[in-house]
């Protein structure tokens, strides 16, 4: 779908409803859900959602001042990763999961722009459970309206290109009575040295030649 300065794909029926429901049940009970502490303006608070980080052994993920050690892929997560890599022709080595318990759980405005993700990350985001609003706003251009999507059970949203550089996204709270939503965001994170400040991507890095046919998605390092 069109997004100035960005690249968004929305596949509403990536998983059939039955398969999505099976996965929702499995992941709600089997993932190692944690409520992380965040430092905001010097104050420690608990995130208004539960999180879990899974990935390859070297896929440490630093964000908001903490480093997450990956838990090993579970069978359903490994199968999803494999399908996404094959269909998108793009590598993923980690998955940040978020669990929104009800409408009071949310995600504030942010971009996934950590250096370890590289300059133009491809983030594949699978939604399971309750439908929530997902909103994007341009970081600088006030002439562009906020873009709102409803992310339904079994849908896949892909953020690519310059989306993280130019846009922020959020999952606002809602007063509607909504149940649990799980969101799986597959990513590619660079090695820890990269997270510590070494350049990732860009002109200085060695890049594999892009494979033909999919010029727009590139987590290649």
Binding positions for Mn ion, rule: CB under 5 A = 112
Q: Which is nearer to Mn ion, 112 or 162 (CB)?
A: 112
Q: Quick one: 16 or 45, whose CB is closer to Mn ion?
A: 45
Q: Return the number of the residue (102 or 112) whose C-beta is nearest Mn ion.
A: 112
Output 71-79 pairs: Cβ under 8 A, ≥24 positions apart.
Answer: 71/32, 74/30, 74/31, 76/23, 76/26, 76/27, 77/184
Q: How far is the CB of 184 from Mn ion (least distance, A)?
A: 12
Q: Which is nearer to Mn ion, 21 or 106 (CB)?
A: 106
Specify the residue, 114 or 220, whose C-beta has the smaller distance to Mn ion. 114
- Shortest gap between Cβ of 132 and Mn ion (angstroms)? 13
Q: What is the 3-state secondary structure (H, E, C) of 140-198?
A: CCCCCCCEEEEECCCCEEEEECCHHHHEEEEECCCCCCCCCEEEEEEECCCCHHHHCCC
Least gap, CB of 47 to Mn ion (angstroms): 12
Please report how close the Cβ of residue 62 comes to Mn ion at its closest, in angstroms.
Answer: 14
The Cα–Cα gap between 98 and 184 comes to 7
The DSSP bridge partners found for residue 183 are 98, 127
Contact 132, 178 (CB under 8 A): yes
Nearest-CB residue to Mn ion? 112
User: For residue 201, how far is the Cα from the chain centroid?
Assistant: 19
**Nearest distance from C-beta of residue 75 to Mn ion, angstroms:** 25
């Amino acid at each position: 779908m069109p997004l100035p300065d960005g690249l968004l794909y929305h596949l509403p029926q990536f998983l059939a409803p039955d398969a999505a429901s099976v996965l929702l049940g499995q992941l709600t009970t089997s993932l190692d859900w944690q409520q992380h502490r965040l430092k905001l303006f010097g104050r420690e608070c608990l995130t208004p959602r539960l999180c879990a980080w899974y990935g390859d052994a070297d896929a440490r993920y630093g964000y908001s001042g903490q480093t997450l050690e990956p838990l090993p892929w579970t069978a359903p997560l490994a199968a999803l990763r494999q399908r996404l890599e094959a269909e998108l022709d793009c590598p993923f080595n980690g998955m940040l999961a978020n669990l929104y318990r009800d409408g009071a759980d949310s995600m504030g405005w942010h971009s996934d722009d950590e250096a370890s993700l590289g300059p133009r990350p491809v983030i594949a985001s699978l939604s399971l459970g309750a439908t929530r609003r997902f909103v994007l706003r341009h970081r600088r251009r006030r002439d562009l309206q906020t873009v709102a999507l409803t992310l339904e059970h079994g849908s896949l949203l892909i953020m690519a290109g310059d989306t993280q550089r130019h846009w922020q996204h959020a999952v606002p709270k809602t007063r509607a009575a909504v149940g649990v939503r799980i969101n799986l965001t597959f990513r590619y994170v660079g090695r820890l040295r990269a997270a510590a400040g070494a350049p990732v991507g860009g002109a200085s890095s060695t890049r594999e030649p892009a494979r033909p046919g999919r010029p727009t998605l590139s987590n290649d390092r």
